[in-house]
Amino acid sequence: MENKTEEEVSIIKVSSLTCIDLDNSDLHQSAVLLKQACLDSGFFYVINHGISEELKDEAFEHSKKFFALPLEEKMKVLRNEKYRGYAPFHDSLLDPENQVRGDYKEGFTIGFEGSKDGPHWDKPFHSPNIWPNPDVLPGWRETMEKYYQEALRVCKSIAKIMALALDLDVDYFNTPEMLGNPIADMVLFHYEGKSDPSKGIYACGAHSDFGMMSLLATDGVMGLQICKDKDVKPQKWEYTPSIKGAYIVNLGDLLERWSNGYFKSTLHRVLGNGQDRYSIPFFLKPSHDCIIECLPTCQSENNLPKYPAIKCSTYISQRYKAVHAHLKQT
């Protein structure tokens, strides 16, 4: 790490987040911790999640190999109309008010395939994935598919604790209608360059995630910052370090809406420090047809929900369209 003067170090505020042990058999105890974390910052760590370090390292190694390919090879798997595949640098613009250019990152999205014979095949967010040529990257697809299943398993176990934290039945979210055929995406990211907020240059612009929750692994290079209170001006940003063996979890807007604003999704962004940085977030959203309407335990005093009911896929389409709107002009 480069040497920093004392003054520089003192302005880097690092947030401390709650850590949830997924191996704790006392789910109620975990739920108390998780609820507090969701009310405080909307971010927490999970440990003892069962994803082996080997599998995670393998996914990162394969991710680096993909991004190191010539652009021409990467463009062969350019994202399709369902957002699967390769998204070049500057493809998404998450914070148009503050960014002069799209994010300084390239990505690769792997989504939920569903069964070919099942009723969910070919819904707007379910489709076959696209894969790099196996002759170029042998074993790549297998590793990513394995990691995807593992990340989904971990999200489902967090969903149990989340249900308890919301005073719902432990398996409330773990039904076929809710999370049986989730719109869940695993995205590989590669960040480059040094960010300069004063010039509107961000590795990843400030945003909150769309979905229910996100499970984030990074290569350990600092960059992720969270803003615990988006309404306090000027905004205060804190670095959120990655901890070996732990995943960072954050809540998305869909859960905020579902919980009638009780749990908040939290603003975050990534600043590049000049070093390459790799991350693999896994974004969990419910099944296509799941109706997102105020959870039974989150009614407000006047019994009026803050948001009308909406089908999960409709909500997600609207959000995707907003982020990718600028693509049509470029």
Exactly one of 91, 150, 209, 219 binds ligand OGA (CB under 6 A); which one? 209
Instruction: Give the burial class of 254: count Cβ atoms within 10 A of its Cβ; 0-12 exposed, 13-18 middle, 19 or more buried.
Output: buried
Closest to ligand OGA by CB, 102 or 281: 281
Closest to ligand OGA by CB, 211 or 286: 211
CB of 108 to ligand OGA, least distance (A): 12
- Residue 87's binding partner out of ligand OGA, Ni ion, none, with CB under 5 to 8 Å set by partner kind: none
- Residue 279's binding partner out of ligand OGA, Ni ion, none, with CB under 5 to 8 Å set by partner kind: ligand OGA
Give φ, ψ of 106 to 5 degrees: -115, 155
Residue 209 as a binder of Ni ion (CB under 5 A): the answer is yes
Residue 225 as a binder of ligand OGA (CB under 6 A): the answer is no
- Residue 255's binding partner out of ligand OGA, Ni ion, none, with CB under 5 to 8 Å set by partner kind: none
CB of 4 to ligand OGA, least distance (A): 21
> How far, in whole angstroms, is CA 41 from its chain's centroid?
15
User: Which span (37-45, 216-224, 231-239, 316-324) binds ligand OGA, by CB under 6 A?
Assistant: 216-224
The sign of the dihedral angle between the CA atoms of 155, 172, 125, 305 is negative
User: Which span (53-61, 98-106, 120-128, 207-215) binds Ni ion, by CB under 5 A?
Assistant: 207-215
Closest to ligand OGA by CB, 150 or 219: 219
Residues from 270 through 289 that contact ligand OGA (CB under 6 A): 270, 279, 281
Residue 218 as a binder of ligand OGA (CB under 6 A): the answer is yes
Instruction: Give the burial class of 325: count Cβ atoms within 10 A of its Cβ; 0-12 exposed, 13-18 middle, 19 or more buried.
Output: exposed
Residues from 75 through 94 that contact ligand OGA (CB under 6 A): none
Residue 91 as a binder of Ni ion (CB under 5 A): the answer is no
What is d(CA 161, CA 25) in angstroms, rounded to the nearest whole number? 11
CB of 251 to ligand OGA, least distance (A): 12
140: its two tokens: 């790549």
Residues from 180 through 199 that contact ligand OGA (CB under 6 A): 189
Which residues have CB under 8 Å from 207's CB, separation 6+? 94, 95, 267, 268, 269
Tokens 């732990």 belong to residue? 246
Residues interacting with Ni ion, by CB under 5 A?
Answer: 209
Residues interacting with ligand OGA, by CB under 6 A?
Answer: 189, 204, 209, 216, 218, 224, 268, 270, 279, 281
